[in-house]
């Protein structure tokens, strides 16, 4: 066998070795898991990530000075609760340091609080480390206080009410946790 072939095979093998190394690293680059946090371009501009299906709730994602809780027609609420728990539901922070943050909901429960392990981590001195839990059941969403210091409040037409047990949450209704207000959108 010629000298050239041997040299080519020798260098070719080294090249192949590095192809494996580099393609492994390329796989690592794409292999991300955990949470993705997408920054929105501007808070006051058009709320592009919010699909039109959200309806009147869009208005509440504006600046924190305009916390206008949505007043969807009563009759539509039941259907919306059904649909919201199935898909497309999300939590939107409408007041507090994280205003404008959107958390898409899946079929799993969501914990809100200051602890890093929470799904929605609040930078809010008035909330507890594991403050409240929002979970789906029977096609609707419920909010439950997890023994927080300052309590969890649900807003309805007659004002804020401190909750004591799991409380049903309809789309458009907002929950106050510390200084933050979180709204469920269907």
Q: Which residues here bind another protein, judged by CB under 8 A?
A: 1, 6-7, 9-11, 13-14, 16-21, 23-25, 27-28, 30-40, 43, 49, 93, 98-104, 106-111, 115-120, 129-130, 133, 135-138, 142, 144, 146, 165-166, 168
CB of 34 to another protein, least distance (A): 3
Phi-psi region of 91 (alpha: psi -120 to 50; beta: other; left: phi over 0): beta
Contact 8, 26 (CB under 8 A): no
As beta bridge partners, residue 177 has 152, 180
Smallest gap from residue 43 Cβ to another protein (A): 6
Q: What value does the CA radius of gyration of the chain take, rounded to a whole number of Å? A: 24
User: What DSSP designation does 40 have?
Assistant: P
In terms of CB distance, is 27 or 73 closer to another protein? 27
Residue whose entry in the numeric block shows the structure tokens 């799993």: 108
**Nearest distance from C-beta of residue 58 to another protein, angstroms:** 15
In terms of CB distance, is 79 or 107 closer to another protein? 107
**Which phi and psi (to 5°) does residue 155 adopt?**
-95, 130
| Closest separation in Å from C-beta 139 to another protein | 9
Based on CB atoms, which residue is closest to another protein, 55 or 100? 100
Q: First vs last Cα of the chain: how many Å apart?
A: 73
Question: What's the min distance (Å) between Cβ of 89 and another protein?
Answer: 13
**Judged by CB, which is closer to another protein: 3, or 73?**
3
Q: Which has the closest alpha carbon to 101: 116, 85, 122, 78?
A: 122
For another protein, the closer CB: 13 or 73 = 13
In degrees and rounded to multiples of 5, residue 14 shows phi and psi of -60, -40
């Amino acid at each position: 066998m010629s000298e050239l072939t041997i040299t080519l095979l020798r260098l070719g093998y080294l090249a192949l070795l590095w192809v494996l190394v580099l393609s492994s690293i390329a796989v690592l680059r794409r292999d991300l898991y955990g949470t993705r946090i997408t920054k929105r371009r501007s808070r006051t501009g058009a709320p592009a990530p919010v699909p039109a299906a959200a309806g009147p709730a869009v208005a509440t994602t504006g600046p924190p000075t305009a916390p206008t809780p949505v007043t969807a027609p009563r009759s539509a609420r039941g259907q919306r609760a059904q649909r919201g728990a199935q898909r497309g539901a999300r939590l939107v922070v409408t007041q507090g340091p994280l205003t404008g943050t959107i958390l898409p909901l899946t079929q799993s429960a969501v914990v809100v609080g200051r602890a890093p392990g929470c799904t929605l981590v609040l930078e809010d001195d008035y909330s507890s480390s594991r403050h409240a839990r929002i979970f789906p059941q029977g096609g609707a969403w419920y909010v439950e206080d997890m023994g927080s210091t300052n309590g969890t409040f649900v807003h309805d037409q007659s004002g804020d009410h401190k909750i004591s047990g799991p409380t049903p949450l309809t789309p458009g209704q907002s929950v106050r946790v510390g200084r933050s207000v979180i709204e469920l959108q269907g």
